[in-house]
C-alpha cells in the first residue's frame, strides 16, 4: 500500500517575487510579513501564507538575549538568512526573504553593497536598512546594482541611543513632516517597501497615500499601511520581558503556531489587525 503524502499548502500558491509583491501592492491586497530566524519557523510561515519573511536583527534580542539590536553582526545575519533560506528551499520557497542589514554595516554605499551582497548570497531577495533621507544615495546604489531595498522609518531600533529610547516617532508637526520627506526620498531612490515602526496611525496613513511605488509595512503604525509585520516571538507569546503594546498574541485564539500565523494573515488581509485605537499614540 502506498501512502500519498498530503500536498503542502504552500505549493498551492506561486512563489512570491518582487514583481508579484508590487502587483499585490498596486491592487491593494494587504501584504503580510513575519520575522523568522531559522528553517523550521520560516517553513511554517510559508505554510501559513505569509508573503515576506524578515530575518530581522531583532534576533539579537529574541534569540541572542541582548537588550538591543546593536551587537548583531553581519556574520550572524548571514547565518540566520542561510538557515531561513534552507528551510524555505525544501518547500520551494514561497515567501520573499528579507535580510536585515545590521548596525554599522551600511555607513557608505560601498559598505552597504558589500554587506548586502553577503545577505543576498545567503539567500535574501531584498535587504532592509534603517534611516531616512541620508540613506537615499545608498538605496539608489544598491537598487542600481540589482539589490531590492526595503527602508525602515519611525522607531529605528539601531538608533535607540540617539532617539533616547523605544518611542513613538513623528508626533510633532516637524517630526511628521520629516518622516514624510524621508519616505518620499527613499521611494525616489528606488525603495520598493518601507517599514513604518511606531508611527501615529494618521501619519502612516498619509505616508502610505503619498507613496505610489513603495509599499508601507506597519508595526505599531495603524491599519492603513499596505501591509503589516510582527516579530514572531511577540505574536506567539514567547517574548520575555516587556512586550510592545502594539503586538498581539495570536496563539491565544489559535493554539498552534501554524494556526497563530494563519490567524495573523487572515486578520491582516481582512483589516481586522491592527485595531487603530491601539495605535492612537
Please give the residue ranges that form the binding site for ligand KIV (CB under 6 A): 35, 54, 56-58, 100, 195, 197, 219, 229, 231
CB closer to ligand KIV, 12 vs 197: 197
The least CB distance from residue 136 to ligand KIV, in Å, is 19
CB closer to ligand KIV, 48 vs 195: 195
Active-site residue 197, yes or no?
A: yes
- Contact between residue 54 and residue 100 where contact means Cβ atoms under 8 Å apart: yes
Q: Where are the beta strands (DSSP E) in the chain?
A: 31-35, 52-55, 96-100, 126-128, 149-154, 193-197, 215-219, 227-230
CB closer to ligand KIV, 120 vs 229: 229
The least CB distance from residue 204 to ligand KIV, in Å, is 13
The least CB distance from residue 232 to ligand KIV, in Å, is 9
Q: Cα–chain-centroid distance for residue 187?
A: 16
- How far is the C-alpha of 152 from the C-alpha of 163, rounded, in Å? 14
Q: Cα–chain-centroid distance for residue 87?
A: 18
What SS3 string covers 62-125? Answer: HCCCCCCCCCCCHHHHHHHHHHHHHHHHCCCCCCEEEEECCCCCCCCHHHHHHHHHHHHHHCCC
Residue with cell 553582526: 73
Residue with cell 531616512: 132
CB closer to ligand KIV, 82 vs 100: 100
Catalytic residue among 82, 197, 253, 270: 197
- How far is the C-alpha of 109 from the C-alpha of 49, rounded, in Å? 34
The least CB distance from residue 11 to ligand KIV, in Å, is 27
How many Cβ atoms sit within 10 Å of the Cβ of residue 14? 9
The least CB distance from residue 243 to ligand KIV, in Å, is 13
CB closer to ligand KIV, 3 vs 33: 33
Query: Annotated catalytic sites, by residue?
Result: 197
Amino acid at each position: 500500500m502506498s501512502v500519498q503524502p498530503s500536498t503542502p499548502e504552500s505549493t498551492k500558491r506561486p512563489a512570491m517575487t518582487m514583481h508579484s509583491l508590487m502587483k499585490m501592492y498596486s491592487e491593494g491586497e494587504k501584504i503580510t510579513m513575519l520575522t523568522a530566524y531559522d528553517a523550521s519557523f520560516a517553513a511554517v510561515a510559508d505554510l501559513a501564507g505569509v508573503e515576506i519573511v524578515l530575518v530581522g536583527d531583532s534576533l539579537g534580542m529574541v534569540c541572542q538575549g541582548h537588550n538591543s539590536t546593536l551587537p548583531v553582526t553581519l556574520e550572524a545575519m548571514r547565518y540566520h538568512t542561510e538557515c531561513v533560506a534552507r528551510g524555505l528551499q525544501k518547500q520551494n520557497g514561497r515567501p520573499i526573504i528579507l535580510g536585515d542589514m545590521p548596525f554599522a554595516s551600511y555607513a557608505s554605499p560601498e559598505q552597504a553593497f558589500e554587506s548586502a551582497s553577503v545577505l543576498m548570497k545567503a539567500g535574501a531577495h531584498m535587504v532592509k536598512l534603517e534611516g531616512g533621507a541620508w540613506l537615499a544615495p545608498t538605496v539608489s546604489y544598491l537598487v542600481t546594482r540589482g539589490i531590492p531595498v526595503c527602508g525602515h522609518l519611525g522607531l529605528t531600533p539601531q538608533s535607540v541611543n540617539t532617539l533616547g529610547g523605544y518611542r513613538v516617532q513623528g508626533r510633532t508637526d516637524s517630526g511628521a513632516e520629516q518622516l514624510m520627506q524621508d519616505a518620499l526620498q527613499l521611494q525616489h531612490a528606488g525603495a520598493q517597501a518601507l517599514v513604518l515602526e511606531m508611527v501615529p496611525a494618521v501619519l502612516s496613513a498619509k505616508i502610505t497615500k503619498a507613496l505610489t511605488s513603495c509599499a508601507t509595512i506597519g508595526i505599531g503604525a495603524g491599519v492603513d499601511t499596505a501591509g503589516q509585520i510582527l516579530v514572531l516571538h511577540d505574536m506567539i507569546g514567547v517574548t520575555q520581558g516587556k512586550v510592545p503594546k502594539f503586538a498581539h498574541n495570536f496563539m491565544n485564539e489559535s493554539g498552534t503556531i501554524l494556526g497563530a500565523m494563519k490567524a495573523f494573515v487572515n486578520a491582516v488581509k481582512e483589516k481586522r489587525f491592527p485595531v487603530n485605537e491601539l495605535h492612537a499614540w
